[in-house]
Amino acid sequence: MSFEIIDKFNREFELYYNNGQMKEAVAVYENDARVFAADKKVYQGLNQIEKVYSDSISNGNTKVILHTGQIIQCGYDYIIEIRFIY
């Protein structure tokens, strides 16, 4: 998967998140996605990931800008993206 594709998903996520559309933002993830959050916990699956971001908005983090630091290809259809959220 190329950087351009990941970047496209990140821009979609930003758009939805910044407009408070959490279901749409989380829909850019695959069903088995995992998020390693700032609280040092791992959240897996769309419901848990949606909760992480909804809680973030509730805590006043209403706008994000995503920057991809690194993309690691792990087989044909699996990647790890290390990104920074501002």
- Residues of the chain with pLDDT > 90, as a percent, come to 65
Are 57 and 22 in contact, with CB atoms under 8 Å apart? yes
Give residue 60's pLDDT: 93
Among 1, 26, 4, 5, which residue's Cα sits nearest to residue 15?
Answer: 26
Assess whether pLDDT exceeds 80 at residue 36.
yes
pLDDT at position 34 is 93
What's the whole-number mean pLDDT along residues 23-28? 95
Task: Give the alpha-carbon dihedral of 4, 6, 63, 16, to 10 degrees.
Answer: 100
pTM for the full predicted model: 0.85
Cα–Cα distance, 42 to 68 (Å, whole number):
19
The residues with which 80 forms a beta bridge, in sequence order, are: 72
Is residue 81 pLDDT above 70, yes or no? Answer: yes
Domains of the chain: 3-85 (3.10.450.50)
State which H helix or E strand residue 83 sits in: strand 79-85
